[in-house]
Amino acid sequence: MSNALWGVVPAEFDGGTATVGFNANNGTVAKILLDVLAPASAVLTGTPSPLFLGGGSIFDIVATSSDAAAKDILLWHCRVMSTPSVLLTTTANTLGRATGTWVSEGYQVGETLMLFGTSGNGNSGQDGIPCMITSIVNQVITFQGTPLAASAGLTSGTRVCKAYNWQRQTVTAGSGITSGVASQQILGGSNDGSTVRSERKIGKNDIIAVSMQAAVSALPAQVVVNAQYARY
């Protein structure tokens, strides 16, 4: 464990762990480490209480690696801004909607956006790819370059998120796998410039995602990231 638990969570909470792994087949596409956290259930009633609003606190993130080379990981703090009920469509550099406007939902030029489908209902070639917004005109957002796959209609329930690259951290070769090489501390690590480094607060609409800066080496090499959290 990277950090002490006491003092960073409320008197009553529901703890948990989350894990995500990468190999050569995953490339540099981001995966969700910690999805939106629903409110913890009250101990006495077994149902969500007004005291528990959702979100939580991450108090530990570590990584292990069986890769023979050091690999950098990127941590993304994402906020679900909208889950439009209208059909969303993409081209290689645009995201469009049939009705409504992106500006009214809080999107602005210069921000980075990520898409995430729901569990078991993802969007291959669109999910987990950082897209920098260069223009917004009515129902269409245009991105820098051509980050997305070919034109597609997105699955129902796709979350549209603002994404912030929280930190980049090097995972030493053999971390947590090779004898004498400790697992790599990520939360509060050397490249975490946060003022509060012992935890990471996440709101009720937040997602923590992880991506590789460069793809993991050939199979069977693997990089695994694990988080310990408290759900409010």
Residue 180, classified by CB atoms within 10 Å of its CB into exposed (0-12), middle (13-18) or buried (19+), is exposed
Residues 72 and 92 in one domain: no
Per-residue pLDDT for 10 more than 60? no
Per-residue pLDDT for 39 more than 90? no
Residues 221 and 117 in one domain: no
Q: Which two tokens stand for residue 102?
A: 């992106």
Q: How confident is the model at residue 160 (pLDDT cuts 50, 70, 90)?
A: very high
Q: Which residue has the tokens 């995953």?
A: 26
Residues 206 and 105 in one domain: no
Residues 208 and 192 in one domain: yes
Within a domain: 4? no
The pLDDT of residue 198 is: 84
Residues 215 and 151 in one domain: no
Q: Which residue has the tokens 């480094």?
A: 197
Domain hosting residue 219, numbered range: 15-80+163-232
Q: How many domains does the chain have?
A: 2
The pLDDT of residue 7 is: 44
The CATH number linked to 214 is 2.60.120
Name all contacts of 130-139 with Cβ < 8 Å and 24+ positions apart.
130/30, 130/76, 130/163, 130/165, 130/211, 131/95, 133/107, 133/108, 133/109, 134/109, 135/109, 136/102, 136/103, 136/107, 136/108, 136/109, 138/101, 139/96, 139/97, 139/98, 139/99, 139/100, 139/101, 139/102
Question: Could you tell me what percent of the chain has a pLDDT over 70?
Answer: 89
The DSSP letter of residue 155 is: P
Domain C-terminal end among 157, 182, 208: 157
The pLDDT of residue 50 is: 55
